[in-house]
């Protein structure tokens, strides 16, 4: 570790003169591309029995099915093209320093790591440099896992085929329909460091300076040779226990202690600019087998741990970050940190509202950093952090109790709706400019569509129940751009996965059936007609705005008064019409915004924040703004047993209670802190939008 005294002694060293390192290139700008999730769609599986799906260009596509994509929170295939488009765009803008805040690969497999490395090598020849921080998909575990693979690769006829590493049980048993290749094993730290060392993980002779949390040399005595010697994996490890970090931090009663790697590093690629790559993966050894300390099965995955566990299980790295931050400030270095995980609330401070409105655990709220975590990270003096992991676009800031100001920027994924990357430009060490570059137009984005057409025909024509479940809307194949494709993808992802996973039973009934006109009317509805009676009316063929699912009721449908229902609905509809007219919104146009459009918009806004509003357009933003103000001042929670409503629940009550919260959350997500083009002034502690033309709620 760099000792505290040594760190203080180094404070006067170095400096910043903003030299341009390579002609017209902006050497003080860095592009951040999070969650690339690179899969080599034309990679070699090195198995003679399955080369992939033959394509019209004579190549073989080693791709996952469209259904697999439409039920995943990331694309597997098209991001191959989006990645190249992002690199080309960055290069065209003169930004040749690129950082990856984790999950640069699908799951750390040789197939994809080698493909990713080949792309980087290609662009290195064009003058670009790359810097990596590991994510929970690279590595998935600290050690190699030679039993892993995927069930959803596309077969030559449009069906699926399993592709697994050779020690997978199905390979050992020679099961049918399993392709066995170690190209799909999931690699740990040692393998990734071996394959990706040139990309920040090891020092480069071009660097002005480079260190790790475990370096022992003084900054003013830096030499590449000594840095390279101390960069070996054997010298970059720490003791971790089930309860927290071991070593000098070990406490009585700590168990399951073992030593694993940490690949954090600080690099100065051009004079005056410090990139701090933090390995924020925390693999807790809570299942450790002392007889097999290097088994990947002994550790819990890092996905939900993030910075919450950094404060307990990587205290030495936290201390190092504090040292780096102090030295950067003293020396006038332009410091930006990047890691895979966010350091503070990434839901535009809507986390508590989301927890209250949706199913327990919905929207992965377990991954939200606690306030104490934000306080601890800010207390290190770190000024700016770029994170990924959640595939979200967003910005938040935090002022610690000691007056230290931290800004967290969430860089979107290239593999989801709202695909974009960030460019951070340093005006001075105390002010930066952050620009979000959307990837709406990606060359070759539809290159694999003929193969998806084959898949669609297969599942439509199959009588197998498992194939019938894999049917999807073919309209996505008419996408006109990458932006259009990812937007449609999120509509299907919402329908096929999010509605069941996040929305309670009664909320799903409502959000999957009501158009906006009906929602506005429901917000005004005052009726004594009950849920059980509404279900009865629906069974009788009476026109109702939605049909309650049997699984959402405690009892069974009962007879209802159709005349009373019609009268109550008419009164509510007239009130809704008046509200729309007063707001200058076309009441009839509200009926054209379908349930599918609304819940797709909601989920798109969760991911892209305010950037999603421009895709909605001015009219729909105004329509949503009307709904946000249309609910009664007071609402009450309906009576439930588990996920089932009491039969006596008045029809309007669940909607008014739950969707008042839903529209409030939508407003918050779409009206968060600047996240498109903005500047950060660390002295004034302000975020300021810079010429953004994004719509607002």
Q: What is the mean pLDDT of residues 6-22?
A: 33
- Identify the pLDDT of residue 14: 34
- Identify the pLDDT of residue 693: 72
Give residue for tokens 């939900």.
304
Q: What is the mean pLDDT of residues 180-204?
A: 97
Three-state DSSP state, 87 = helix
Share of the chain above pLDDT 90, in %: 93
Instruction: Please give the DSSP secondary-structure letter assigned to residue 370.
Output: P
Q: Is residue 503 scored above 80 in pLDDT? A: yes
Whether 102 contacts 136, CB under 8 Å: yes
Whether 237 contacts 316, CB under 8 Å: no
Q: Is residue 304 scored above 80 in pLDDT? A: yes
Share of the chain above pLDDT 70, in %: 96
State the Cα–Cα distance between residues 81 and 99, nearest whole angstrom. 18
- Identify the pLDDT of residue 663: 98
pTM of the entire structure? 0.94
- Identify the pLDDT of residue 24: 43
- Identify the pLDDT of residue 460: 96
Q: Which of 578, 577, 599, 598 is nearest to 588 (CA)?
A: 577
Q: Is residue 111 scored above 60 in pLDDT? A: yes
State the Cα–Cα distance between residues 492 and 471, nearest whole angstrom. 11
- Identify the pLDDT of residue 550: 87
Give the residues across from 407 on adjacent strands.
384, 397
Q: Is residue 559 scored above 60 in pLDDT? A: yes
State the Cα–Cα distance between residues 292 and 289, nearest whole angstrom. 5
pLDDT-derived band at 642, boundaries 50, 70, 90:
confident
pLDDT-derived band at 590, boundaries 50, 70, 90:
very high
Q: Is residue 13 scored above 90 in pLDDT? A: no
87, two tokens: 């690199």
Q: What is the mean pLDDT of residues 574-592?
A: 98
State the Cα–Cα distance between residues 331 and 270, nearest whole angstrom. 15
Give residue for tokens 């999807």.
472
Instruction: Please give the DSSP secondary-structure letter assigned to residue 520.
Output: H
- Identify the pLDDT of residue 25: 57
634's CB contacts (< 8 A; 6+ apart) are: none
Q: What is the mean pLDDT of residues 677-684?
A: 96
Give the residues across from 267 on adjacent strands.
210, 275
Q: β-strands 384-387, 686-689: how paired?
A: unpaired
Give residue for tokens 């953004």.
692
Q: What is the mean pLDDT of residues 337-356?
A: 97
Instruction: Please give the DSSP secondary-structure letter assigned to residue 495.
Output: I
Q: Which of 178, 66, 151, 183 is nearest to 492 (CA)?
A: 66
Question: Half-sphere exposure of residue 683, counting CA atoms within 13 Å on the CB side?
Answer: 5
**pLDDT, tens only, 19-56:** 333 334 566 899 999 999 999 999 999 999 999 999 99
- Identify the pLDDT of residue 353: 97
Q: Is residue 108 scored above 90 in pLDDT? A: yes
Q: Is residue 441 scored above 70 in pLDDT? A: yes
How long a stretch of residues is the chain?
697
Q: Which of 138, 115, 140 is nearest to 41 (CA)?
A: 115
Mean pLDDT of the chain: 94
481, two tokens: 């751009």
Alpha helices in 447-561 (DSSP H): 449-461, 465-468, 482-493, 499-502, 505-511, 516-524, 531-539
User: Between the CA of residue 305 and those of 469, 553, 594, what are the distances in Å?
Assistant: 33, 37, 38
**pLDDT, tens only, 357-414:** 999 999 999 999 999 999 999 999 999 999 999 999 999 999 999 999 999 999 999 9
Q: β-strands 29-32, 431-438: how paired?
A: unpaired
Q: What are phi and psi of 493, to 5 degrees?
A: -60, -40
State the Cα–Cα distance between residues 74 and 36, nearest whole angstrom. 9
- Identify the pLDDT of residue 695: 87
540, two tokens: 């009788």
State the Cα–Cα distance between residues 2 and 324, nearest whole angstrom. 10
Q: What is the mean pLDDT of residues 675-690?
A: 95
pLDDT-derived band at 482, boundaries 50, 70, 90:
very high
């Amino acid at each position: 570790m760099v000792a505290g005294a040594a760190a203080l002694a180094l404070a006067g060293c170095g400096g910043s003169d903003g030299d341009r390192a390579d002609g017209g290139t902006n050497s003080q700008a860095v592009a951040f591309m999070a969650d690339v999730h690179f899969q080599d769609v034309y990679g070699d599986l090195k198995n003679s029995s399955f080369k992939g799906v033959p394509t019209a260009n004579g190549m073989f596509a080693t791709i996952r099915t469209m259904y697999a994509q439409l039920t995943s929170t990331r694309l597997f295939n098209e991001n191959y093209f989006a990645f190249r488009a992002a690199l080309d765009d960055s290069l065209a803008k003169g930004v040749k320093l690129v950082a990856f805040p984790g999950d640069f690969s699908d799951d750390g497999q040789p197939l994809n790591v080698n493909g990713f490395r080949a792309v980087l090598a290609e662009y290195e020849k064009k003058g670009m440099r790359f810097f990596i921080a590991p994510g929970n998909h690279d590595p998935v575990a600290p050690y190699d896992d030679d039993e892993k693979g995927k069930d959803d690769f596309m077969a030559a006829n449009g069906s699926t085929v399993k592709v697994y590493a050779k020690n997978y049980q199905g390979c050992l048993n020679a099961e049918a329909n399993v392709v066995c290749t170690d190209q799909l094993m999931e690699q740990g730290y040692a393998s990734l460091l071996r394959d990706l060392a040139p990309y920040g993980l090891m020092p480069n002779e071009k660097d002005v300076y480079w260190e790790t949390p475990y370096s022992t040399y003084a900054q003013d005595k830096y030499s590449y040779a000594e840095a390279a010697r101390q960069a070996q994996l054997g010298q970059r490890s720490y003791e971790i226990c089930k309860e927290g970090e071991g070593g000098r931090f070990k406490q009585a009663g700590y168990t399951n202690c073992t030593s694993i790697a940490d690949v954090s590093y600080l690099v100065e690629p051009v004079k005056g600019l410090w990139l701090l790559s933090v390995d924020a993966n925390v693999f807790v050894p809570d299942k450790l087998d002392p007889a097999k300390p290097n088994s990947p099965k002994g550790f819990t995955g890092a996905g939900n741990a993030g910075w919450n566990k950094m404060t307990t299980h990587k205290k030495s790295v936290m201390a190092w970050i504090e040292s780096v931050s102090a030295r950067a400030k003293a020396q006038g270095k332009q410091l930006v940190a990047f890691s895979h995980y966010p350091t503070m609330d990434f839901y535009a401070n809507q986390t508590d509202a989301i927890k209250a409105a949706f199913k327990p655990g919905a929207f992965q709220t377990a991954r939200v950093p606690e306030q104490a975590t934000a306080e601890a990270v800010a207390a290190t003096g770190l000024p700016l952090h770029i994170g990924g992991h959640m595939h979200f676009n967003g910005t938040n800031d935090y002022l610690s109790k000691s007056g230290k100001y931290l800004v967290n920027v969430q860089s979107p994924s290239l593999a989801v709706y709202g695909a974009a990357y960030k460019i951070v430009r340093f005006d001075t060490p105390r002010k930066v400019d952050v620009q979000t570059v959307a990837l709406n137009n990606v060359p070759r984005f539809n290159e694999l569509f003929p193969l998806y057409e084959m898949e669609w025909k297969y599942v439509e024509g199959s009588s197998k129940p498992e194939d019938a479940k894999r049917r999807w809307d073919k309209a996505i194949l008419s996408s006109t751009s990458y932006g259009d494709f990812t937007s449609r993808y999120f509509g299907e992802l919402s329908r096929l996965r999010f509605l069941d996973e996040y929305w309670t039973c009664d909320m799903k009934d409502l959000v999957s059936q009501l158009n906006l006109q009906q929602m506005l009317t429901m917000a005004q509805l005052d009726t004594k007609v009950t849920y059980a009676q509404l279900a009865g009316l629906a069974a009788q063929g009476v026109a109702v705005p939605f049909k309650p699912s049997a699984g959402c009721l405690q009892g069974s449908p009962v007879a209802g008064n159709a005349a009373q229902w019609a009268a109550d609905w008419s009164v509510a509809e007239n009130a809704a019409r008046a509200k729309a007219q007063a707001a200058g919104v076309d009441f009839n146009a509200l009926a054209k915004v379908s349930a599918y459009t609304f819940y797709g918009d909601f989920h798109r806004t969760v991911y892209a924040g305010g950037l999603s509003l421009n895709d909605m357009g001015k009219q729909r933003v105004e329509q949503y703004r009307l709904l946000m103000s249309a609910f009664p001042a007071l609402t009450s929670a309906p009576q439930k047993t588990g996920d089932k409503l009491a039969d006596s629940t008045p029809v309007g009550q669940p909607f008014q209670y739950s969707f008042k919260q839903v529209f409030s959350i939508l407003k918050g997500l779409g009206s968060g802190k600047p996240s498109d083009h903005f500047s950060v002034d660390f002295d004034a502690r302000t975020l300021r939008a810079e010429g953004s033309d994004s719509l607002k709620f």
